[in-house]
Amino acid sequence: MGRMRAEAALHGEAPIRVLIVDDSEDDAYLLRTELARRGLVVDCRRVDSALDMAAALAGQDWDLILSDHDMPGFDALAALDVLKRSGQDIPFIIHSGQIADRDAVSAMYDGVDDYICKGDYERLVPVIEREMRGLRARRAVRHADTRIQQLAYFDGLSALPNHHLFCNKVGDAIREHRERGRVPAGAVLVVDLDRFLRINASFGYEAGNDLLRQVGQRLRAGLGPEVVLARLGGDEFGVFLPGVNDRGSVEMLARWIVKSFDEPLLKDRVELFLTASVGIAMIPSDGEAVLDLLMNAETALGQVKRAGGNDLRFYERTMNAASAERLAMEADLRHAVERGELLIEYQPVISARHLRPVGAEALVRWLHPRLGRLPPDRFIPLADETGLIAELGAWVLCEAARQARAWLDAGHERVRVSVNVSAVQFSQPRLLEVVADALRRSALPPACLVLEITETSLMADVESAAGMLRALKNMGVQVAVDDFGTGYSSLSYLKRLPIDIIKIDKSFVRELCENDDDAAIVRAIIALAGSLRLATIAEGVESAGQAEVLRLAGCDFLQGFHFSRPTPAAQLVL
């Protein structure tokens, strides 16, 4: 409520809350009167000691602090120290006639925002307006920062932790046990709603979403505070019970989850009955890596589903059919390049101003001899884990560079090709050699190659990332931050990294025309990029309305199904 009121004050809808630090009640009254006479509506409170000021900062929200300098036992620098200890971002202005210019300049180096002589209201008013504009901009960035963190770590539908945060919490708990010299213990449960698609088919997606929210609330209300509950995606929920090694206790919890669905869920006063299946993986017997635990719990869950659902099952090592299939896929992937089973499709990148293609993103596909056409999310993680990504990534880079050279030779002078670089590739010094080799073989000008690197990869080790990016920039290639806003919670690192382009993640674009918060986030990202002289690409554009909102917001480039699905190079129109 306090932040909403402060934002309203910044827009002139409410008084500016001013904390006056002054030992004279008459001076404070005169200040309030003179500001009001000049059109500033203020709500003031006067304090004259460190104790009273600290209490005022703790008890209310303030937009501005105006401090006298020379007071009995208290001065402006002591007041500034009280503000710093509070940790709050509030403009601090010295309004005094008892401070030398030299001391005032020194105070501004220490953090004071400005110094105005008492009575000089003609100068004070524009300074207040300037500081309020700056405060509004900083709060807008913080709001965007918070929103990005929510999108990165929390599920927008249920408000529960998402898959990423769930994995972090499980991994942190396991590491903490190891660091204390203890054997990790706990259980990971995957809860899946049985035949949930029939709800969407019968009542619509909005009804389904409402029921998912109810399920999340019911589970959260019945689980203890030490239990981590997350929505992993779709109709799947994750439960982490830390510290337990007793299968009986875990089974009791899992049976409560199954039993909790005996009570109906309500939709428009209609009772709807659901059942749930639960797969369980124990720590450490079923693994100590988060993804292994989830995979094993999913394997056990599959056994429950095949048996009809509405039950629970612990993982057993005999449930390894999926693992065998995965090993077979790894073996096939090792020969995919030499057998010519990989192909690249290109999705055009469109100039928002001219609505013409200016380049394309290269997207690899695998024509598996047995499983058919596979998208990258089916085999790139496997390639990363097994080390095959080095060969696969080098092939994609060379093919994309060769194709871009062909487009240049055909007369498309300004075309650029974008290639995704996985986290594993980016962490390997050999990437520089691979990029240089692709440019040399294709004779492609380096400026025509854009390397897309996920935000998570960059932030895993900022200093190392900065060094790799500088080396790539020295080669002349361009660098784009892919999936911006989903992998890290702070925008401040952008200015430390030598990048050229920000790709706004499709999760922000999806509801751009319906969700004011997402629209505000997108505008904030575009404005931030502009201030850092970075270009912006919005991915996942699927409608003319989204494209128009992005164009008006100043986005430079657009990409998505609205313009073209990924297509073979021969069919791409540039």
Percent of the chain surpassing pLDDT 70: 94
DSSP 154: B
Q: What is the pLDDT of residue 297?
A: 95
549 and 519 in contact (C-beta within 8 Å)? yes
Q: What are phi and psi of 157, to 5 degrees?
A: -80, -50
For the stretch 16-32, pLDDT in tens is 999 999 988 988 898 88
281 and 254 in contact (C-beta within 8 Å)? no
Domain boundaries, given as residue ranges, for the chain: 2-153, 163-319, 341-571
For the stretch 61-78, pLDDT in tens is 899 999 998 888 888 889
- Res. 548: pLDDT tops 70: yes
DSSP 264: P
Say how far apart CA 381 and CA 368 lie, in whole Å.
Answer: 16
Structure-token match 């998570």, residue found: 456
For the stretch 446-475, pLDDT in tens is 999 999 998 777 876 777 888 899 999 999
The tokens for 16 are 């500016």
Q: How confident is the model at residue 486 (pLDDT cuts 50, 70, 90)?
A: low
Structure-token match 């430079």, residue found: 556
Tell me which range, 452-461, 499-508, 553-562, is most confidently predicted by mean pLDDT: 553-562
**What's the average model confidence in pLDDT over 25-49?**
89
| Nearest residue to 438 via CA among 448, 428, 429 | 448
- Res. 321: pLDDT tops 70: no
Say how far apart CA 391 and CA 397 lie, in whole Å.
Answer: 10
User: How far, in whole angstroms, is CA 58 from its chain's centroid?
Assistant: 30
Q: Among 154-168, 197-211, 366-380, which is the least confidently predicted range? A: 197-211
- Res. 81: pLDDT tops 60: yes
Please give the CATH number for the structural domain made up of 163-319: 3.30.70.270
Omega of the bond prior to 369 within 30 degrees of 0, cis?
A: no
Q: What are phi and psi of 277, to 5 degrees?
A: -115, 145
Say how far apart CA 286 and CA 293 lie, in whole Å.
Answer: 6
Please give the CATH number for the structural domain made up of 2-153: 3.40.50.2300
Say how far apart CA 535 and CA 526 lie, in whole Å.
Answer: 8
**What's the average model confidence in pLDDT over 257-273?**
88
279 and 297 in contact (C-beta within 8 Å)? yes
> In this structure, are strands 478-484 and 42-47 parallel, antiparallel, or unpaired?
unpaired
Q: How many other CB atoms are found less than 10 A from the CB of residue 447?
A: 12
Q: What is the pLDDT of residue 262?
A: 92
Say how far apart CA 304 and CA 302 lie, in whole Å.
Answer: 5
Please give the CATH number for the structural domain made up of 341-571: 3.20.20.450
**What's the average model confidence in pLDDT over 280-304?**
92
Q: How many other CB atoms are found less than 10 A from the CB of residue 508?
A: 24
Listing DSSP states for 340-385 in one string gives T-EEEEEEEEEETTT--EEEEEEEEEEEETTTEEE-GGGTHHHHHH
The tokens for 405 are 């050279």
